[in-house]
Amino acid sequence: MAFLLRRLGFYLAAFIAAATINFFLPRLMPGDPIQIMFSSTGTELSAENLESLKLTFGFVDGPLWQQYLTYLQSIFTGDLGRSIKYFPLPVTEVLGHALIWTVALMGTATLISFTLGTFLGILAAWRRGSAFDVVVSVGAIFATSVPAVVTSLIVLFFFGFTLNWFPTGYSADPALDPSFSFTYIASVLYHGILPMVTLCSVLTGGFAVTMRNNMINLLGEDYIVMGRAKGLSDSRVMIWYAARNALLPTVSSLAIAIGTVLGGSLVTEVVFNYPGLGNILYQAILARDYPVIQGQLLIMTIAMLIANFIVDISYVLLDPRLRRT
Amino acid sequence: MKTLIAGLVRNRKALVGMIILLIIVLIALAAPLLTEYNPAARVGRPHQPPSADHWLGTTRIGQDVFARLIYGARTSLAVGFGAGLIITVLGTALGIIAGYRGGKTDEVISFFTNMVLVVPNLPLLLVLASFIGQASPLVIAVILGLTSWAWGARVTRAETLSVKQKDFVKSAEMMGEPRWRIMAFEIFPNLISIVGINFIGSVIFAIITEATLEFLGLGDPKTVSWGMMLYNAQKASALSVGAWWDILTPCFALALLGIGLSLLNFAVDEIANPRLRTGNSMSRWSALIRSGEGRL
């Protein structure tokens, strides 16, 4: 429990650090920070609107610490300002809508590649030296060393444009209204396949390699030999004796992987014109919509911290030693 | 160090990685000899498929793709190795200091290291780069270098903790050697493999991230680089109009460089890490595994 509380405190500090970067960055740039933040792409803000935006981002009269506290206050009350490009929509609304798609895409891809990678890793370690192992290991090097943007573009080119098997953009057929009907859900799944395949191919290799490593280290342990000596079946020793223990460090590598997943999904969404955070962000960057760009850092940080916390909790559940300290 | 270099020469993976890297470096250096075209100039009609005149076709505005490819290699390599160097120097120095000094110093450095690790890297870079405006490759290299040292610092610190327990460090302490000397001449040489892996890993990371930032529209439009090639091709809808050469060329170049560097990285790990050599013929493959730790 104390462990989890300490982690929570640390995450709070990390979140404030991200907010602090957002606060100081416009003020460190040469020129008028208000001008920089709110003057992009010709949207005319009324004096009243500008006033409220300035308040949100801490541009108030007073010393710097007072401005900083004002900014932190708006962040902690969930006010991230309004988008300049989609004025007057609040940043939280612009990002929130997109977040659903990103989380769905990312979550599913992480789940699939974690399961698949772990499974491939277990089998590769169990039959180390076999052709299967070589294929998994070499495939993992290649898949993880190619940038997500390159994988996305190549997948899009072959399966989207050349073979014409899958749609090349959007999360569903734009002609359909979002609903819980079979046609709409089928369309969402169909449109999600290519981005999903891309993300999985970027991620699976890393999980497979980590799992294989942990397994091989454990296979020499006495209790594995003992399990075999007792005459247990191969699959029982492999899954319940070796894999179960090898999973522990893999779970912690999952926390680090979340950052990669976030980055990868941003790029993949841009390439596949998928209406998630990545795409909103891409539009925001092109329009220099700073409130949205800053807001995504905070939202991504929160997502990353939540993911880390879930991993912390599962770690406590998986490793009894941690519960006592 | 000597065994490291000798090992690299004999290792087949290192050889392939080295050859890939060397070819790319040579092509980048010899770019003016290999093409008559200026990579920034319009030298042909727009979106011409590959031909004898333009080996890899032309872009939407009629630039020669081959010329942009080989001049762009210079940018990717420079940003990769430049940022990689900054990341490695910062990470190694902070890791050794935290690990060796311990106490309050360690707590402060470790706190910041862990903090940088949980703030997602790409979104942070997007915010930094967007405020800087059209970021030149030099600016990208510097901000990458300053924000991405945390992984290296953590790994180096962990390794330092085990090295500092060794007898030769104890005896250097007994002899009253100054602390900076112990860190620089007793501990650092024993971390050379970690430093090497960190360096190559950071180079890969920097090359990928530079391309990603530029692809997302944060680069300077005047830059000739693989990332800008991707950005321009994507903006010109190269795939939907069928100009595959425009977009696939930088894709394959990035993939090749990434694979070459990764092979090299695995090889360094394999040679430098005695634990991985204890196996049988399998040691080559078990090396892959360890390098997957931490950095996915």
pLDDT tens readout for residues A113-128: 999 999 998 888 888 7
Q: End-to-end distance of chain B based on CA atoms, in angstroms?
A: 27
Average pLDDT over residues A257-270: 78
Q: Which of residues 227-266 of B touch A (CB under 8 A)?
A: 230, 234, 239-240, 242, 244, 247-248, 251-252, 254-255, 258-259, 261-263, 266
Contact status of B274 with chain A (Cβ, < 8 Å): no
pLDDT at position B286, please?
38
Coil vs helix vs strand at A289: coil
Average pLDDT over residues A293-305: 85
The contacts of residue B250 (CB under 8 Å, 6+ apart) are B69, B72, B211, B226, B227, B229, B230, B233
Coil vs helix vs strand at A90: strand
Note the Cα A194 to chain centre separation in Å: 17
Q: Chain A: residue nearest B233 by CA?
A: A153
pLDDT digits (tens, 9 = 90+) for A158-201: 887 777 777 777 776 666 677 777 777 777 777 778 888 888 88
Q: Which of residues 190-209 of B touch A (CB under 8 A)?
A: 204, 208
pLDDT at residue A323 tops 70: no
CB-CB neighbours of A253 under 10 Å: 22
- CA A263 to chain B, closest CA, distance in angstroms equals 6
pLDDT tens per residue, chain B (296 residues)? 666 677 667 777 788 888 999 999 999 898 888 887 888 777 777 777 887 777 778 887 878 888 889 899 999 999 999 999 999 999 999 999 999 998 899 999 998 888 888 888 888 888 888 888 788 889 999 999 988 898 889 888 988 888 888 888 888 888 888 888 888 888 888 888 888 888 988 998 899 889 989 988 888 888 889 999 989 888 887 777 777 888 888 999 999 998 898 888 877 776 765 544 433 333 333 333 333 332 32
pLDDT at position B25, please?
93
Closest Cβ opposite residue A212 in set B217, B248, B289: B289
- Residue B188 to residue B193: CA distance in whole angstroms: 10
pLDDT at position B272, please?
66
DSSP string, chain B: -HHHHHHHHH-HHHHHHHHHHHHHHHHHHTHHHH-SS-TTS--SSTTPPS-SSSTT-B-TT--BHHHHHHHHHHHHHHHHHHHHHHHHHHHHHHHHHHHHH-HHHHHHHHHHHHHHHHS-HHHHHHHHHHHH-SB-HHHHHHHHHHHS-HHHHHHHHHHHHHHTTSHHHHHHHHTT--HHHIIIIIIGGGGHHHHHHHHHHHHHHHHHHHHHHHHTT-B-TT--SHHHHHHHHHHTTTTTTT-HHHHHHHHHHHHHHHHHHHHHHHHHHHHH-HHHHSSSTTHHHHHHHHHTSS--
pLDDT at position B24, please?
92
pLDDT at position B285, please?
35
The contacts of residue B295 (CB under 8 Å, 6+ apart) are A256, B151, B201
Q: What's the whole-model pTM score?
A: 0.84
pLDDT at position B23, please?
93
Q: What are the backbone angles phi and psi of residue B58, rounded to the nearest 5°?
A: -125, 165
Chain A residues with CB under 8 Å of B126 CB are 281, 285, 293, 296-297
Measure Cα distances from A119 to A112, A152, A310, B270 in Å: 11, 24, 22, 24
pLDDT at position B288, please?
36
CB-CB neighbours of B29 under 10 Å: 14
Q: End-to-end distance of chain A based on CA atoms, in angstroms?
A: 9
Q: Which of residues 265-324 of A touch B (CB under 8 A)?
A: 266-267, 270-271, 281-282, 285-286, 288, 290, 293-294, 296-297, 300-301, 303-305, 308
* Phi-psi map region of A232: left, alpha, beta (phi>0 left; psi -120 to 50 alpha): beta
A–B: how many Cβ contacts below 8 A?
A: 184
Task: Locate A3 and state its tokens.
Answer: 């462990």
Q: Which of residues 27-46 of B touch A (CB under 8 A)?
A: none
Contact B128 A25 (CB under 8 A): yes
Among A99, A107, A195, CA closest to A149: A195
ipTM of this complex: 0.81
Closest Cβ opposite residue B294 in set A145, A253, A308: A253
Element housing A138 (H / E)? helix A131-145
Contact B154, B98 (CB under 8 A): no
pLDDT at residue A42 tops 60: no
Coil vs helix vs strand at A82: strand
Average pLDDT over residues A225-242: 85
Contact A259 B120 (CB under 8 A): yes
Measure Cα distances from A43 to A37, A100, A205, A287, B90 in Å: 12, 27, 45, 11, 42
Contact B242, B178 (CB under 8 A): no
- CA A42 to chain B, closest CA, distance in angstroms equals 17
The contacts of residue B199 (CB under 8 Å, 6+ apart) are B84, B85, B87, B88
The contacts of residue A192 (CB under 8 Å, 6+ apart) are A105, A108, A171
Contact status of B286 with chain A (Cβ, < 8 Å): yes
Closest Cβ opposite residue B288 in set A22, A147, A209: A209
pLDDT at position B96, please?
93
The residue of A130, A150, A215, A252 whose CB has the most chain B CBs within 10 angstroms, and thus the best one to mutate to test that interface, is A150
Q: Name the amino acid, one letter, at B7.
A: G
pLDDT at position A244, please?
81
- Residue A185 to residue A166: CA distance in whole angstroms: 15
Q: Name the amino acid, one letter, at A67.
A: Q
Q: Name the amino acid, one letter, at B205.
A: F
